[in-house]
Chain A
Amino acid sequence: NAGVTQTPKFRVLKTGQSMTLLCAQDMNHEYMYWYRQDPGMGLRLIHYSVGEGTTAKGEVPDGYNVSRLKKQNFLLGLESAAPSQTSVYFCASIPRGVRNQPQHFGDGTRLSIL
């Protein structure tokens, strides 16, 4: 099993460009998450999904959109990239609920906005 796979691994964008980050998991997990990681700030939740066709806002959702059309995929979109969105983005998944089981993370997408 591949676990959680993120595509692409690296990307450089110009301000105003758009792009989509893909997260795919092969563990049949219900819940999926998108985080951003900035120096000294840990992991901050952008959006999450508790099932196919459902999404919800996290701590820092502004400037991002998401879609969960298939259970195994969770897409993160930047419609008009800004330098403040330069970060490392991590996707995670979990079977169901966070109260007694850990999240499984991908290896991240490093995004630079010039």
Chain B
Amino acid sequence: GENVEQHPSTLSVQEGDSAVIKCTYSDSASNYFPWYKQELGKGPQLIIDIRSNVGEKKDQRIAVTLNKTAKHFSLHITETQPEDSAVYFCAAPPYSSASKIIFGSGTRLSIRP
């Protein structure tokens, strides 16, 4: 079945620097890759997603890149700010199922002032 691995589990960066979180997936037929941000005491919320027909997508300071050959996708946050501190999850749906999605184990991002 589909497996999604996420690295690193924790990440600390200086405010203003960039942060990169990487996920690898096992099902080569997966075609949709969302990223969620979870703030303390809240549920995960979508921040950006990418479909398999594009290699990169940007939304202001956030970008996601997809390498289908290597089966990995990454979240890039530039010019980090204190409000970026949160837990980030990647996810991928196995192509064999239209009902379920597999989440990575999460990355706790801390922004140092």
Contacts and interface: CB of A to CB of B under 8 A. Distances in A.
Interface of A: 4, 31, 40-43, 45, 48, 50, 56, 58, 90, 92, 97-103, 105-108
B41 A98 contact: no
Contacts, number: 60
Contact of B104 (A31, A42, A106): A42
B73 interface: no
Interface residues of B, number: 26
Interface on chain B toward A: helix, strand, loop, or mixed SS? loop
B99 A100 contact: no
Contact of B105 (A41, A56, A90): A41
Interface of B: 6, 9, 31-32, 34, 36, 41-46, 49, 51, 89, 93, 95, 97-101, 103-106
A4 B46 CA distance: 14
B98 A90 contact: no
A97 B99 contact: yes
B47 to A, nearest CB: 9
Q: Which of B42, B89, B100, B105 has the most CB of A within 10 A?
A: B100
Given A90-B43, A105-B43, A99 B100 contact: no
Contacts of B9: 40
Contacts of A107: 41-43
Given A41-B105, A42-B104, A42-B106, A102 B46 contact: yes
B89 A43 contact: yes
B42 A56 contact: no
Nearest to A44: B103
A50 B36 CA distance: 22
